[in-house]
């Protein structure tokens, strides 16, 4: 449920979690009877009203977007329906002019570095003197970089070293066995609240956007009108993002499921 595997049922993930124990409890006695050979040969396809799950009630409440995406990453190791930083590019570039992917394409051999993104993993350690330090991964929309906070800097910033925190990191470039990392010397949390309603970002390759695909996408968005803006990011040698101002949507599991069936469109 947390990974989105049951989105096609049309209920919110939160409501599915709330009733899943009741659903299991309702079916277990039936399965025990079947295992003992005591099932009704004429009851293999019961009417919906006689289903052992007919009593379940599903609410409309959903987890906050940040928590929903955090569960996706916890279950699958990646974000699926969206990215927590969708719509935050302006804020990230305000504090760190170059995205991490651009830094890795032309990495500096030495000197100071500024990056911004989410802390997507955190490993706390203790050195031989018993002093705590940490290794974390900072990830933006397209790439990630390992940052090491040794005891002195760790003592200053440990309160903000939390997974899924958006942060600005300043540090010194370090190379070891042809792998670049950063020795963190400064860290500050980023306030993404100024984003307002983060857009739903759809990704597509230009050659895949045929007329039938565009028409199907248009009809899908119109069928789920709401207040969340929609952006389309064209993937290729040069990425471009277009805002579909006339097609805001209500982001629901049903909408995400329909979008996933459109050829050439990815979330």
Report percent pLDDT > 90 for the chain. 40
Is residue 101 a contact partner of residue 117, using CB atoms and an 8 Å limit? no
| pLDDT (mean) for 107-114 | 92
Q: How sure is the predictor about 243, in pLDDT bands with cuts at 50, 70 and 90? A: confident
Radius of gyration of the chain measured on its C-alpha atoms:
24
Q: Is the pLDDT of residue 133 over 90?
A: yes
* CA 66, chain centre distance (Å): 8
Q: Is the pLDDT of residue 196 over 80?
A: no
Say whether 23 sits in a helix, a strand or coil. Answer: helix
How far is 253 from 63, CA to CA, in rounded Å?
12
Structure tokens, 153:
């800097």
Q: How sure is the predictor about 250, in pLDDT bands with cuts at 50, 70 and 90? A: confident
Say whether 126 sits in a helix, a strand or coil. Answer: strand
How far is 209 from 74, CA to CA, in rounded Å?
32
Structure-model confidence comparison of residues 66 and 97, the more confident one: 97
* Model pTM score: 0.59
């Amino acid at each position: 449920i947390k990974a989105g595997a049951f989105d096609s049922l049309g209920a919110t993930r939160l409501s599915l979690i709330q009733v899943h124990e009741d659903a299991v409890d309702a079916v277990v006695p039936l399965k025990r009877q079947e295992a003992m050979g005591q099932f009704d040969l004429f009851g293999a396809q019961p009417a919906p009203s006689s289903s052992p799950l007919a009593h379940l009630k599903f609410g409309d409440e959903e987890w906050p977007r940040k928590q929903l995406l955090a569960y996706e990453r916890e279950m699958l190791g990646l974000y699926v329906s969206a990215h927590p930083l969708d719509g935050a590019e302006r804020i990230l570039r305000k504090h760190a002019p170059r995205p991490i992917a651009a830094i890795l394409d032309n990495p500096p051999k030495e000197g100071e570095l500024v990056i911004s993104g989410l802390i997507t993993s955190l490993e706390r350690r203790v050195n031989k003197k018993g002093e705590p330090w940490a290794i974390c991964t900072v990830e933006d929309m397209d790439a990630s970089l390992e940052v090491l906070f040794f005891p002195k800097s760790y003592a200053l910033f440990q309160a903000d070293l939390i997974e899924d925190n958006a942060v600005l990191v300043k540090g010194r470039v370090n190379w070891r066995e042809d792998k670049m990392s950063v020795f963190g010397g400064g860290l500050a949390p980023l306030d993404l609240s100024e984003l307002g309603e983060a857009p739903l970002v759809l990704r597509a390759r230009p050659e895949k956007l045929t007329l039938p695909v565009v028409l199907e996408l248009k009809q899908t968005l119109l069928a789920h009108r709401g207040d969340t803006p929609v952006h389309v990011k064209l993937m290729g040698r040069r990425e471009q993002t277009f805002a579909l101002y006339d097609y805001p949507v209500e982001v629901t599991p049903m909408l995400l499921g329909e979008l996933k069936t459109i050829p050439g469109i990815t979330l």
